[in-house]
Amino acid sequence: MDKAALDRAVAYAVAHENPGPKDLALDRAVLFGEEPFDEAVGPLGERAALNGLVVRHGAIVAEWGDTARADLTFSVTKSFLSTVVGLAWQQGLIHDVKDRVVDYMPTTELFDSPHNAKITWEHLLRQTSDWRGTLWDKPDWADRPEGEKPSDYPNRPLHEPGTHYKYNDVRVNLLALAALHVWRKPLPQVLRAELMDPIGASSTWRWHGYRNSWIELDGQRMQSVSGGGHWGGGMFISARDMLRFGYLFLHNGRWGGRPVVSDEWIRMARTPGSANPTYGFMNWFLNTDREPLPSAPATAVTFRGAGNNIIYIDWEHDLVVVVRWIQGDALDSFLGQVLAAILS
């Protein structure tokens, strides 16, 4: 790699740090404060300055900022959540992603309606379920509400499950609750034992739910975690541990030669859905036709969260990039400069 060119890429990223407040409660208020039911019910905290790492051919070639600090990663949490669902599928706890979720949660009322009863695991994974209901005191329509006036929000038209993509954290949290019912133990315990310990992650990461997202399961009180930081909660993790997570997928689910995540699951996660050609399973953002990231290969994938929190995986260049708290409109240029340093 061209070190000088890579240094310039890092300098560009540092110069384009998100100018928003480092107090994430304030930052979240800017992002979502005009939505109904906007009260945060999970932890948020403060964040570090922009930081990140670049790994090529298994070696760290650039690192900047406080990459050991565990901060909220917002919707990158969704990539961890879908992976926990994948591990359940891998172990036979979920037989088929096209199975109806209601058949795995028969004692709840969340799928009682004829519309909700049709929803499959795949619909939730692809954010195409159009589930209607309220979970943890947040109605589905309160997240990125649709309509010209507030009275329109609860009366939106229903879409047949699988036909309409809508990014929606209430439904993401529904997937987390469904996964908890399948695993029958807290998802952070599952993630640590099945994935984070095998890939050598630190002990500093935490996966939070909400103060009101507790249930009783098999006589035990458990917290259902959040799939993002929309109302607080979600994954608090360091850039270094995010890098390990991305590196696992760069190697198609294997770590040190040992299979951790099924390559078949990764193939499904990387396959675009019919309702959104740039989205696979949550939160696999695909670079279909190089439209989202013109500077990157069409085969590249990003795990993305607000802020912006990014894990970039590039199989063509044997490359993983983690960058945190970069301005969204600077991401493509930054990645283009990193790739130019490789090609030099």
Across the chain, mean pLDDT equals: 96
pLDDT of 32 > 80? The answer is no
pLDDT of 45 > 90? The answer is yes
Q: Among 21-30, 66-75, 170-179, where is mean pLDDT lowest?
A: 21-30
pLDDT of the residue at 344: 55
pLDDT of 325 > 90? The answer is yes
Write the CA distances from 306 to 20, 50, 86, 228, 327, integer angstroms.
11, 13, 23, 9, 10
Fold of the domain spanning 1-344: Beta-lactamase (3.40.710)
Given pLDDT bands bounded at 50, 70 and 90, which one contains residue 152? confident
Q: Which residues of 237-266 are buried (b: 16+ CB within 10 A; e: fewer)?
A: bbbbbbbbbbbbbbbebebeeeebbbeebb
Q: Report domain extents, the chain.
A: 1-344
Helix (H) or strand (E) holding 318: none
pLDDT of the residue at 53: 99
Q: Which of 38, 21, 17, 36 is nearest to 229 (CA)?
A: 38
pLDDT, tens only, 270-293: 999 999 999 999 999 999 999 999
Sheet strands (E) in 44-114: 51-56, 59-64, 71-72
Count CB atoms within 10 A of the CB of residue 11: 12
The reported pTM is 0.97
Radius of gyration of the chain (CA): 19
Write the CA distances from 296 to 4, 291, 301, 331, integer angstroms.
20, 9, 9, 11
Count CB atoms within 10 A of the CB of residue 109: 9
Exposed/middle/buried for 36, CB within 10 Å: 0-12, 13-18, 19+? middle
Alpha helices of the chain — where are they, by DSSP H?
3-15, 24-32, 77-90, 114-117, 121-125, 169-183, 187-191, 239-250, 263-269, 331-343
pLDDT of the residue at 331: 98
pLDDT of the residue at 29: 77
Given pLDDT bands bounded at 50, 70 and 90, which one contains residue 30? confident
